[in-house]
Amino acid sequence: MVRKAPEPEIRKVSSAEELLAAKRAVEEVHVDQDLLEYITRVVEGTRGHPAVEVGASPRGSLALFLLSRAKAALEGRDYVIPDDIKALAIPALSHRIILKPEYWLKRLRPEAVIQEPWSEFQSRGKSDGRQEKARPRIHSLDSPCGRGPNPRLA
């Protein structure tokens, strides 16, 4: 008897226009200079750590920067906050780090290396004097993907 996996059901959840509008929304998200420096320090910290053989590259910084902007947009903001970066640092960087073998044996994980700089960073707020402004959320609750139509994309 031969088992066959059921065919996956694939359905369209967004149009090309909606995707392009979402991309534009992300590109409009502001990242304060302090947060750009924070991203740089987090990534550089992976390269200078004594347990790390190969740290995250500048591409890791770029990934963390872009993901942070996307998270802010999804949460309805036109600016990035430190918590956006913190939430995404491990998923964005942990696979980009190679630990020295002796630290693997000690069961150190790349995630621990990434978390170290967090305690050193203190947000000094919005240095450009901009006021926090609510931005329409990219998703609401009634979309085909469970999050609803995007008012920015309408």
Q: What is the pLDDT along the chain (154 residues), one digit of tens a residue?
A: 677 888 888 999 999 999 999 999 999 999 999 999 999 988 988 888 888 999 899 999 999 999 999 999 999 999 999 999 999 999 999 999 988 988 888 888 888 888 776 555 444 344 444 444 433 333 322 333 333 343 443 3
pTM across the whole model: 0.68
DSSP letter for each residue of the chain: ----PPPPP------HHHHHHHHHHHHT-B--HHHHHHHHHHHHHHHH-TTEEE---HHHHHHHHHHHHHHHHHTTBSB--HHHHHHHHHHHHGGG-EE-HHHHHTT--HHHHHHGGGGG------TT-PPP-B---S--TTSTTSS---GGG-
Domains and CATH numbers, the chain: 25-119 (1.10.8.80)
Quick: pLDDT tens for 92-114.
999 999 889 888 888 888 888 88
